[in-house]
Amino acid sequence: MAIELIIFDLDGTLVDSCEDIRVALNYCFEKRGIEGFSKEEVRRMVGEGVNRLIEKALLARKVSLPFKEMIECFINYYSQHIADFSRLYPGVIETLEELREIKKVVISNKLTELSIKTLESLGIIKFFSFIAGSDFFPEKKPSPLPFIETMKRFKVLPDETLVVGDSELDIEAGKLAGVKTIAVTYGYRNRDLLKNADFVIDKFSDLVRIVKSL
């Protein structure tokens, strides 16, 4: 059965946004006199949304700060500097162009507004028919609900859908939704966390080969 819909993760899959996230996080911590984070530390913490990012960061530095204020600080700073350093991964534009006949959406654990702003800033929002962040559905990845509701929206079956992401959250959500999953190895997670995916690719452009084979 031909693929009718591809559901993409955002950070670590389409876009390397780690440095902008790190700078925003460090701004909020360092202004309070707390040591910032390395890029590797941030890579390990991202993927579950802003609330979990701040929770993990506070735990890592063993500090207690006003949680809501830290979230607001991060969102305010990050939204103003969302693509200072963020870049598309190699082959993203060319691959999306090649797959232009297939419906494409972005389902991210980033907030919807920030997801849209990221895609706009990097010039690829035109490729996507629908964009939803962690605040769009009642549940977020690894819950399958965002994928299930998106398939309903586009009237496609699980057999006609692919999920592409860089983390175990994407794979778990995809499996629970009955969808084939493709894990990318160049993102924010170690390869050993991606072993349950149906396919594993090292380059974004490898996606075309898999889509054509299904």
Q: Which residues are catalytic?
A: 9
- Distance CA(37)–CA(61), nearest Å, equals 9
Alpha-carbon distance 127 to 142, whole Å? Answer: 24
Determine the Cα–Cα distance for residues 128 and 111; give it in Å rounded to an integer: 16
**Pairwise CA distance, residues 38 & 67, whole Å:** 21
Q: Is the peptide bond before 142 cis (omega within 30 degrees of 0)?
A: yes
- Compute the Cα dihedral for 106, 109, 115, 119 and give only its sign: negative
Could you tell me which of 204, 169, 142, 190 has the C-alpha nearest to residue 6?
204
